[in-house]
């Protein structure tokens, strides 16, 4: 029987508590993209960034899931510091473990008041209160539950002030920061990636990056003394027009994907110069469309923070990046809600988030060529 199916079944059935973890095992990889129906379009390139659109004629129904931006904007999802009074609207008045503790840099409290499961992606930014934070890992939060601890990383070193609730920032941090949150899981690495722009090592004698540690340091001094992520990467602060870069890529991407018949764009494989470095693939075109603007901006920031190399990754390299990994596997699961699976092999890491209800599906697949 397929090992991936066995792992999915185990994640669905395992455990008596709210969370269950499987021990680390060796995961058997597959030589093809698991018959998922993905197809790569011709690459879309601008300067040192190349995007390979991933399309599929098969889509899951992802309408039951609520996104973080939707939940925070509507008030159906509330995120606060630990110790804040958010129990009043909760249907379940039992506090989460550690809920009564004081505020913590790396843990917040979340309540999902909606009737829909909430999808969280690693690297999504929530703004306000004592410090801006990013979601630490992909997960799903069941509807209508008790306040629960939410693991986060700080991306605003220096501020610790008063506030009530976090708000939607409509931002996903760029890949070097997401990698340090989702895979390396180190607060110092997250801060280093924010300050440096990119943690990717430049080749010998590589051209200078447009965003680098020097102009980020100037941005901190002039306009973002608390190292707020949003302010540090404001185009005026770093001396580079991120929005102009995004606009150029968006035009090219829209043209390349405008004539699809019977297929939807469900993700992208991302390359910087000649290196395939990243992919984000979703269960539906609707989910991809929801996250696309934020993801594109994050890819652009990373591209501007890397050397401006003019090599181009090949379509064969991008197709190879779609293959599943063989390596060390970690699985976490909340029975009846979600299963999170990470496989690492050398410099590569693959993370899949599976929904277990209302029907089993892989909501998001992230693959990373690690730089840390």
Domain membership flag for residue 135: yes
Taking only the tens place, the pLDDT of each residue in 33-52 is 444 789 999 999 999 999 99
List Cβ neighbours of 52 (8 Å cut-off, separation of 6 or more). Answer: 40, 41, 43, 44, 268, 269, 270, 271, 315, 318
> Which H or E run includes 4?
helix 3-13
Distance CA 125, CA 241 (A): 21
In the predicted structure, residue 64 carries a pLDDT above the cut 70:
yes
In the predicted structure, residue 236 carries a pLDDT above the cut 50:
yes
Residue 94 is predicted with a pLDDT of 45
Domain membership flag for residue 107: yes
Domain membership flag for residue 83: yes
Domain membership flag for residue 34: no
| CA atoms lying within 13 Å on the CB side of residue 66 | 22
Domain membership flag for residue 88: yes
In the predicted structure, residue 232 carries a pLDDT above the cut 60:
yes
Domain membership flag for residue 183: no
Domain membership flag for residue 157: yes
Computed over its alpha carbons, how large is the radius of gyration of the chain? 20
Distance CA 153, CA 155 (A): 7
pTM of the model: 0.86
Domain membership flag for residue 323: no
Q: Model confidence at 291, in pLDDT bands (50, 70, 90)?
A: very high
Q: Residue 70: give the domain boundaries.
A: 66-171
Average pLDDT over residues 53-76: 95
Count of structural domains within the chain: 1
């Amino acid at each position: 029987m397929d090992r991936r199916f066995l792992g999915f079944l185990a994640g669905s059935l395992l455990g008596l508590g709210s969370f269950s973890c499987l021990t680390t095992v060796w995961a058997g990889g597959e030589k093809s993209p698991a018959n998922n129906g993905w197809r790569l379009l011709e690459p879309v390139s601008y300067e040192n960034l190349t995007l390979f659109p991933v399309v599929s004629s098969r889509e899951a129904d992802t309408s039951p899931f609520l996104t973080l931006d939707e939940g925070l904007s509507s008030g159906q999802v509330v995120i606060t510091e630990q110790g804040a009074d958010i129990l009043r609207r909760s249907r379940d008045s039992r506090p989460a473990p550690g809920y009564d503790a004081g505020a913590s840099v790396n843990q917040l409290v979340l309540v999902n008041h909606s009737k829909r499961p909430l999808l969280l992606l690693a690297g999504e930014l929530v703004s306000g209160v004592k410090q801006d934070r990013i979601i630490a890992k992909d997960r799903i939060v069941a509807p209508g539950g008790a306040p629960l601890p939410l693991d986060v990383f700080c991306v605003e070193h220096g501020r610790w002030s008063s506030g009530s609730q976090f708000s939607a920032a409509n931002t996903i941090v760029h890949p070097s920061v997401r990698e340090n949150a989702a895979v390396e899981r180190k607060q110092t690495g997250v801060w280093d990636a924010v300050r440096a722009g990119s943690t990717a090592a430049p080749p010998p004698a590589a051209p200078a990056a447009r965003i680098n540690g020097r102009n980020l340091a100037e941005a901190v001094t002039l306009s973002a003394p608390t190292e707020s992520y949003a302010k540090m990467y404001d185009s005026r602060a770093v001396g580079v027009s991120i929005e102009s870069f995004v606009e150029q890529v968006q035009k090219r991407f829209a043209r390349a994907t405008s004539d699809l018949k019977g297929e939807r764009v469900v993700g992208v494989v991302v390359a910087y110069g000649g290196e395939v470095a990243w992919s984000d693939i979703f269960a539906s075109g609707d989910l991809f469309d929801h996250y696309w603007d934020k993801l594109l901006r994050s890819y652009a920031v990373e591209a501007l923070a890397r050397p401006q190399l003019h090599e181009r990754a090949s379509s064969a390299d991008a197709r190879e990046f779609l293959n599943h990994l063989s390596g060390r596997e970690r699985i976490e699961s909340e029975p009846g809600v979600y299963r999170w699976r990470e496989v690492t092999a050398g410099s590569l890491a693959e993370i899949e988030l599976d929904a277990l209800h209302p029907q089993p599906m892989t909501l998001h697949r992230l693959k990373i060529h690690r730089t840390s």
